[in-house]
Chain A
Amino acid sequence: MVSNSPVPASLELPPVPAPGSPRRLEGRDKLTGRAQYAGDFTSHLTGGVLDAAVVVTSTQATGRILTIDASAANKVPGVRLVLTHENAPRLHAVLATNGAEIGDLLPLQDDKLHYYGQAVAVVVADTLAAARDAAALVHVTYSAPAPDAAFTLAQGRSRSQDVKKVGAGDPGQVQVGHPDKAFAAAPHQVDLTFDTAPHHHNAMEPGAIVAAWEADGGLTVHLPTQFSYGDAVILGEAFGFGLKERLPNIVAQVLGGIEFHHKVRVVSTMTGGAFGSKNANVHLLLAPMAAKLTGRPVKLVLDRAQTFSMMPFRGEMHQRIRLGADAEGRLQAVLHDALLAKGTAGQFVAPIGEATTKVYATPNLGLHVQAAALDTNAPGWMRGPGAPNGQFALESALDTLAYQVGLDPLEIRLRNYADTEPDTGKEWSSKALRECYAQGAERVGWHQRNPQVGSMRGENGRLLGYGMATAIYPTLQLPARARIVLGADGRAVVQTANHEIGQGMITTFTQLAAETLGLPLEQVRLEWGDTRLPYGGMTVGSMTTLSGGAAIQEAAQQVLKTLLKRVVADQASPLYNLAPATLRVENGRIMGPGGASETVAAAMARQPESPITEEATTGRTMGHSRYGREAFGAEFAVVSVDPDTLHVQVERLVGAFAGGRILNPLLVRSQLMGSMVWGLGQALLEQTAMDERTGHWLNDSLGEALVPTNADVADIDIILIEEDDSRGHPLGVKGLGELGITGVAAAIANAIFHATGQRITSLPITLDKLLGTPLPQSAAPASNP
């Protein structure tokens, strides 16, 4: 044998789902390849014809297109169209959701360049091979690039401007009390700056779309998306359908109970990962533009490199954290300054200070967010989206303060525990963060560690370190509508245009409807992701279950009510004349007092012409609440650092999360674990490298843009702490899709500090950053936890 292959001591299988907690309903289809992704579409799904479209992107970031020579491309057999700004349909301005690039910059409308990798042509051909061949033959010439182009914050710092609103409308400027004065007067001060690298989502499935214009002038597109209605509105606006349904009004219409319908239909296919990247993308417009000119259905799939410039990413961020504390480590002032990169087109600025204003108690608080518009494609939503970076900075600074004051890092967090929401003073709807700290610390062995920095040794003299951080993510809810039809066969169809992006919506929604209706899971079917269905909202912000789930529960309760009324009024029912309040439905059977019962199917079968249809709209308050509503967690990392090569190995991650009611522990664990793996990647690996002279993303492949492999991923322990959050949300649930990532990078950075004494303030923490710094020489006795 060349190498020893250790046999794991205990081979643990994933937890068996609790009763009523099914495994992923679409799992089998995904595993067997039957699940339909947009890239899988073939011509038999589009009426016998489906052309292939390939995008040609710019190799320069600024300046203008001088010429586009498509003559060679047009000669490739099978080529039907080379779409450029010279022949492209003129589009009407659109209002894109939350700062997406197309709100500012419609593709192929003029000769101006905004970034490297911008779409400059689309080639359509009978086959993908012909389209690819021809795309490489499109010859584009450019004017000289702008001499003052800026691709990084260092280059573009002079473009910095204050940002009033970040994310989906959170304040970019916050002041509570007198933070500057309080900081200056504080006996303990920490003042650190942090830099975090840009990185891309790299969902397994790239952006893809199938567009077909109908004979009646209507447009149907199939694509993986997080917001089918939003995409439909954008298409309707761009192609001049005379829509009045501009985006903000979708919500108004839903609240008014008006159905959204026009000639644009958007159908979400199964989605191979989205994480914030699949919404209002440039290719949403490109494929219908091409199909309009060819008069034939078109399929457009981005190649991997194109996903780096034609889809969003998490941009570069520079932060400064100042903490002022009294002698006992109680925060007197928290100041958070941030400078974020955005695109010259695209208004998105990540909500970086969201957590800073919510997580620790302090009488004086300042948040100052600036953004610099760089000559790159626009950053956008990405799991977190600002919190992992904000928390990396805040929690690293707090860790520094703890050592400065001489407090255990866990103790300083308890000492600054916020019993009410710091920026608003509101009471929390629920907050079991203390339990998270306690159980996480217990599980990781926090109190058994040697707290002295640089004191612990593992195998071969590796330096061991423990670190922790608080995880936080807001609990949000948007309006959503759901319809449930209980048919004559006793089966229910649930309809809502939300989206399965891998998070398990299909399973959770079906499970929720089945539970509420008292039907077995097999008797409930979910229809989703189609603008012909009721408005389901955006699949963003960890709020799918909160938004769509609430509507489904309410619709299901109404169906149940109608059903029970119907059976007690039905002389043929064994439940005739009983009081509805005395009935309950379980496993498809309606049961009354004294043993009277019948199945839902039997009851429904007696009136086959009258299915029960109910609709519900929820979330009218847009998530506003009289309570502070956040999900919290405590994340712990154990790292070992090789003293020679400075390779950092994350040995363990422990996350304890308080997430309200846990509907499906299996899916929730899977979400949290995926988030934590991403956090590990953000901490140690992920950075998209740019050529700072041209603005080109260089490592634009899955081989070169490093994400963790199995060998890099630690043992991950997840502890779920249930909370009663019924006063926060009708289901008592909180958003958990993103919580898991938010504290990981900070916990790992803090563990590296504990191991090495090095406070690395830039992400990712690659070994070159540790190499430049001396390691502790203390010959402390080896200690193996």
Chain B
Amino acid sequence: MRNFGYLRAASAAEAVQAGAAPQVQFLAGGTNLVDLLKYRVEQPAALLDINRLPYQHIEELPDQGLRLGALVTNAATAYDARVQTRYPLLSSAILAGASAQLRNAATNGGNLNQRTRCPYFYDVAAACNKRQPGSGCAAIGGHNRGLAILGTSESCIATFPSDMGVALRVLDAEVRLLGPAGERVVPMAEYHRLPGAEPWRDNNLLPGELVTAIDLPPAHFGQHYTYLKIRDRLSYAFALVSVAVGMRLDKAGHIQEARVALGGVAHKPWREPRAEAVLAGQLPTAEVFGAAADELLAGAVGQGENNFKLALARRAIVRACQQAAAGTPQSQSDKHIR
């Protein structure tokens, strides 16, 4: 770990001012950033501790939505009674991630800004355009079993590892930002980027911009939802493929609305309107879910070791849709896929 300066922001205004300087990084829960410092993947001149800023609460919004403070921990969010009742999908996705210890420290804002788990990103001796722009991508043609099949580029095949983010994408959450130029709101769909030619840019944050809250719109998916995370082991492992589903069914059992997002397969939570259009108005059958899966996975390309993800993702999508339609969401405490 390289020595770094440590600043503590007394106010949000001060934070965004100081945070706009190059070589300064915000420190919240630190569950990912501190590892990156130890591996020397990140070598900031200074860390700006934002943990005392006033983003510590979960609040009601006038439209029946909920505002999740950026500094509320993942655990406090997942176990919040309002979240559990009105956004069980979000709670479930958070509890599918990491470990209890990490969730106790990790924050909501930090969860959105965590870095990829690509092994070459963590290996400072390897080529990685995300870590060192222009150095190349060792993952292409290398050990890429866990990496992306959708939205990749010639310069990067990394995935965004969050579970929470996949549920937020289904919920059409909005990310509230504060920067030197003031406040703005970015929909989850536009928060993260595809790698393209600039894979070092994970998201669309501008210099100094800080996540202050995540706004959840009024809830619709209390009954028919699931977060299905497929991984090699059942706990403390990143997703090979994960699927977040929210559905509304009418009295006759037709799908009124369905939203499906994938994790572990792309540089951002992956959603495709065409796939959801396939589901709308249909009875929930394996065939319909399969057709939606094919739309969602259109254009997916394997990189060799991760070719299996194409088949696995299709199966997981169908299974997750079945879980959601049946109102039998995946348990995150038993963890066994039943």
Q: Does B312 contact A (CB under 8 A)?
A: yes
A709–B143 Cα gap in the complex (Å)?
24
Residues of B within 8 A of A699 (CB): 119
Residues of A within 8 A of B92 (CB): 2-3
Surface stretch bound by B, among A366-374, A564-572, A643-651: A643-651
A interface residues with partner B (beta carbon < 8 Å): 1-6, 59, 129, 132-133, 136, 459-460, 462, 642, 644-647, 649, 684-685, 689-694, 696, 698-699, 703-704, 706, 708-712, 766-768, 771-772
Residues of A within 8 A of B251 (CB): none
What's the minimum C-beta distance from B145 to chain A, rounded to whole angstroms? Answer: 7
Quick one: given A645-B319, A767-B312, A768-B308, are A703 and B236 in contact (CB under 8 Å)?
Answer: yes
In the complex the two chains form, is A768's CB within 8 Å of B138's CB? no
Residues of A within 8 A of B84 (CB): 1-2
In the complex the two chains form, is A710's CB within 8 Å of B319's CB? no
Residues of B within 8 A of A691 (CB): 126, 138, 142-143
What size tier do the contact residues of chain B reach?
35 or more
Considering only CB atoms, which chain B residue lies closest to A132 in the complex?
B1
Q: Does B63 contact A (CB under 8 A)?
A: no
Count of CB-CB pairs between chains A and B under 8 Å? 113
Quick one: given A691-B143, A771-B311, are A712 and B235 in contact (CB under 8 Å)?
Answer: yes
Residues of B within 8 A of A772 (CB): 308, 311
A684–B240 Cα gap in the complex (Å)?
15
Q: Does B334 contact A (CB under 8 A)?
A: yes
Q: 27 A-B pairs, CB-CB below 8 angstroms?
A: A2-B84, A2-B91, A2-B329, A3-B92, A3-B95, A4-B331, A5-B331, A59-B125, A136-B2, A459-B338, A644-B315, A644-B318, A645-B230, A646-B312, A647-B230, A684-B232, A691-B138, A693-B142, A696-B125, A699-B119, A706-B232, A706-B233, A708-B233, A711-B234, A767-B240, A768-B312, A772-B308
A462–B2 Cα gap in the complex (Å)?
51
A708–B138 Cα gap in the complex (Å)?
29
Residues of B within 8 A of A649 (CB): 336-337
Q: Does B88 contact A (CB under 8 A)?
A: yes
Sorted nearest first, the 3 A-B pairs with minimum C-beta distance are A768-B308, A711-B234, A59-B125
Q: Does B333 contact A (CB under 8 A)?
A: yes
Residue from A5, A6, A709, A710 having most chain B Cβ neighbours under 10 A: A709
Q: A2-B88, A2-B332, A642-B337 are in contact. List 19 more A-B contacts (CB 8 A).
A: A2-B84, A2-B92, A3-B329, A59-B125, A129-B1, A136-B2, A644-B318, A644-B319, A645-B230, A645-B312, A645-B319, A689-B143, A696-B125, A696-B126, A698-B119, A703-B236, A706-B237, A767-B232, A768-B308
Q: Does B52 contact A (CB under 8 A)?
A: no
Residues of A within 8 A of B141 (CB): 693
What's the minimum C-beta distance from A748 to chain B, rounded to whole angstroms? Answer: 14
Contact with A along B111-128 (1 / 0, CB 8 A): 000000101100101100
Residues of B282-318 whose CB lies within 8 A of A: 308, 311-312, 315-316, 318
Q: Does B101 contact A (CB under 8 A)?
A: no
Residues of A within 8 A of B220 (CB): none
Residue from A6, A459, A696, A766 having most chain B Cβ neighbours under 10 A: A696
B interface residues with partner A (beta carbon < 8 Å): 1-3, 40, 78, 84, 88, 91-92, 95, 117, 119-120, 123, 125-126, 138, 141-143, 145, 228, 230, 232-237, 240, 308, 311-312, 315-316, 318-319, 329, 331-338
A644–B293 Cα gap in the complex (Å)?
13
A596–B82 Cα gap in the complex (Å)?
77
What's the minimum C-beta distance from B125 to chain A, rounded to whole angstroms? Answer: 4
A711–B311 Cα gap in the complex (Å)?
25
In the complex the two chains form, is B95's CB within 8 Å of A2's CB? yes
Residue from B92, B119, B126, B240 having most chain A Cβ neighbours under 10 A: B119
